[in-house]
Structure 1
Amino acid sequence: MAVDAVVMGLGRFGGGLSAAESLLAEGRQVLVTDLAEEEALQASVTKLRETFGAQVSFRLGGHDQEDFAQAELVIANPAVPQPWKNPYLKSAWQAGATITTEIARTLSQLSDRKTIAITGSAGKSTTTAMTHAALVAAGIPATRGGNLGESLLGTPKDHTLVVELSSAMAWWLYEAPKAPQPTFDVALRTNLAPNHLDWHGDMGHYAQCKQAILDHAKVSLDGSTLSSYEGELLVPGHHNRINAAAALAA
């Protein structure tokens, strides 16, 4: 079967599932490849096979460089460290393939939506959830997703997107070859401390990827400069008061 799209990394928690489903829904012939064996990915593999049949194929327990060299489109898992050094992705780039991630592709498709991007070394998931809850409580339709694992595809047009972004996602959005470089209405960085240096190589590269999110927003907020929230809060702790202040600021 001829393949025109490769999904690199289905993920033990189904991280590549929505990427594969969206490509298959477009009528593409898709190859899903993962280092894990089928047993570890059974639920996602079964769902794809039952829904799309022969339209999807699998290479599990390892990658094959030839699959990447022949692909027109590759959807990479952002968890792959230092992708600029990855031999499989390098083969695809050298062959002229388009390489992107699910979040980059999704944000390009939803570029007409109001979007709040939230990143940081700690507290970004909590702040994303709080920001989403605050919008909904205020009567503003909103959908959250991104690094939280919830797909944004199919979001109604009147919804504000609240997107949690990791530093790896940021690299694919702004630093990768042919990166889409989306612009956000609001971007918030909760804080900045050494993290994921195995992925980035050094603190400078990590900080640069985080900063790129703020640099591509109409309004940028630095959570480290905000005073903690002093009102009633259902979740305890000083850090959650800081997260709440950041969420309300966003």
Structure 2
Amino acid sequence: MRGILLAALLAVLLAVPARADETPPPAFGPGERMYYDIYWTVIHAGKAELLWREDAELDGRPARYFFAKARTLGWVDNFYKVRDTMEAWTDMGLNYALLYKKDQNEGSYHKKVELVFDKEANKSYRYARGKLQHTIDQPENVFDPMSILFAFRKHALYEGMEFDANVSDGKVSVVGRAFVEGRETVETGIGDVDAFRVRLDIQHLSGVFKKSKDAQLYVWFSADERRIPVKVRSKVVVGSFIMTLREYHPPAEG
């Protein structure tokens, strides 16, 4: 079962790639908060949250700052406790990643990862458990598994759109792809939402997805200027999960 909740959260975070030449519209920004319920088959297995926190300073320069976490609930928590968190920092224009951190705690498995991007040298440095594990060359603009979601939301959607962008976990750097297949109504905790259904090319993803020959991954984004990820559905080797939006809070005013 390792990775079920993290896989659900990453499904949102790895949702779709982005172009790197636009500024985020005012429909979303710092202070935005999204909360989700996660179901494994028919079991309410956990919950997750996705936050756009206030701008931070990284190595003396301003940066966008994003935070996410997932955890198990109820009886699932008793036999397989999950406490996963992720953080990401980008430039102010959401054009490329600067820093990514993941703290994964699932049952007896514990791992901390830090991914540092050197924009000037076009390299990344991946640290695991405090030790440098991988150094790889990167394209000019590349996103980590978390910041890619927020960068994607800069783009208006329409049926038939296809996207691609550079994404890296520090071990490999790939061109991620996604396809806007259709538009439909999604039931959420904030009511029925008109949303675009996006199919993801997940052949390069590791962990649970990689082990599933027939894995399917879909993400629904609200069909408005906010482009909120309101639902995730995936079928993997250990079953299937659905992740739905429970609460949404808009960006801070002023």
TM-score, length basis structure 1: 0.23
Comparing both chains, which one has the higher relative contact order based on Cα–Cα distances under 8 Å and sequence gaps of 6 or more? 2
Quick check: which one's strand share is greater? 2
Quick check: which one's helix share is greater? 1
TM-score, length basis structure 2: 0.23
